[in-house]
Amino acid sequence: MFVKSSLIAIALALSTGASPVLEGLGASVSFGKRDGLTNEDGWFDHQRAMQQVVYDRNKHRQNMINLERNVGKEAFNEGAHILPLSNYSSQPQKRQAEKLTDEANDEYWAGPISIGTPGQNFLIDFDTGSSDLWVPSTGCTSSYCRKKDKYNATASSTSVHKSGTFSIQYGDGSQVSGPVYAETVSVASVTVKNQAFSPVTTISPSFGSEAADGILGLAFPAISNLRQSPFLNTAKSQGAVKSGVFGMKLAKSGSELFLGGTDTSLYSGSPEYHAVTGSGFWQISSGSIVNSTQTIVSNFQTIIDSGTTIIYGPPSSVATFYESIPGSQVYDSQNGFYSFPCGNLPTTVAFNWGGKNWTISPANFNLGKVSATECIGAIAGQDLGLGSNTWLLGDSFMKNVYTAFSFDANSVGFAQLK
């Protein structure tokens, strides 16, 4: 069971590598997760997965709205568009062979931060697929905020109320919204001043059951709803870190966010870096997906997003991929999930960007059983509005590698986990 207090443990570290990406101060945040799409008994949580798809569609719908407003449609990938708002109520109920236990779980990577002076502590979802920071405020009186830590502006000597508002719509008919403030924000030993964020007064029911209090986005300013500098960009500009780089290890235990460099104790060799090609996103080009020795689909864009479990691809490309797995078939056409024989779990599915094959382990590819013999794959066919030739790689991919994100070199790198 996920316990919030168990995550309030911060380990400080210094980066010691010789690569330019590693120089400067570094600070690590230990964080944790709990699986939400596979129940403890190994069965696929279809209802939770459908909610994740709707959340991801609406999250990136808002990102595209922000990108158009902040930069213009010229920054869109080919075929990108702003989707209509998706809604949970439109999702079909899928009958399953056995009853699933609803653990009320969700999927996130969360760790501690503090906001204000003196610091007020929060458990935060670190998300490479968005760019803003928000937490509940004492002005949020709904039942969904009841168990959350809440920001009290009057209790902080560094609180500054700014003009404007923050609002994101989600698929349950509600939104996360609130005013805009500037504050002192600390993540591990990295402290910045006048960081824009929103202490929200309304919160979506989809966040009510989560242990995390809010979200800290780690993507680029171009997709910021607040139209302000995200946390790490602010840290670099203020000299709180010398390197505009962060690294992530995502795992069932020992997960870590490292700010101001990468943690060389967690991976072997040097990261394989690829240039960022998309405005606002951690997007790299020339991607291909491989099964065994066969390249199934190639030359596509990929966005690396820690905010979801699922790997998404264009529906036609995903259909082509599953043709390489004998016995696979469409399980949920609306949400893009496929089933395959559990006894034929693929062991050689990998992504490649012109260098090494980065393989997805069988455990990370399998989202769980839907019958005694059928399982669900982590790759789903779905249009997220991000582009007709764009894939989005969630933690089902990221759990297999150490991922380095460099604002300085405008690149994403992958390395072999130790």
Residue numbers annotated as active site: 127, 305
Q: How far apart are CA 28 and CA 43, in angstroms?
A: 34
Place of tokens 């190639």: 298
Place of tokens 């171009």: 222
Phi, psi dihedral angles at 232 (to 5 degrees)? -70, -35
Q: How far apart are CA 370 and CA 384, in angstroms?
A: 25
Q: How far apart are CA 163 and CA 181, in angstroms?
A: 8
Count CA atoms within 13 Å of residue 54 on its CB side: 21
Element containing residue 207 per DSSP (H, E): helix 205-208
Element containing residue 55 per DSSP (H, E): helix 46-70
DSSP string covering 274-305: EEB-SSSS-EEEEEEEEETTEEEEEEEEEEE-
296: Cβ contacts below 8 Å, ≥ 6 apart: 288, 289, 290, 320, 321, 324
74: Cβ contacts below 8 Å, ≥ 6 apart: none
Local structure of 368: helix, strand or coil: strand
Cα dihedral sign, 111-112-115-121:
positive
DSSP string covering 129-180: T---EEEEBTT--SGGGTTS--B-GGG-TT-EEEEEEEEEE-TTS-EEEEEE
Residue 88 burial (C-beta neighbours within 10 Å; 0-12, 13-18, 19+)? middle
What helix, strand, coil percent values describe the chain, rounded to 5? 20, 35, 45
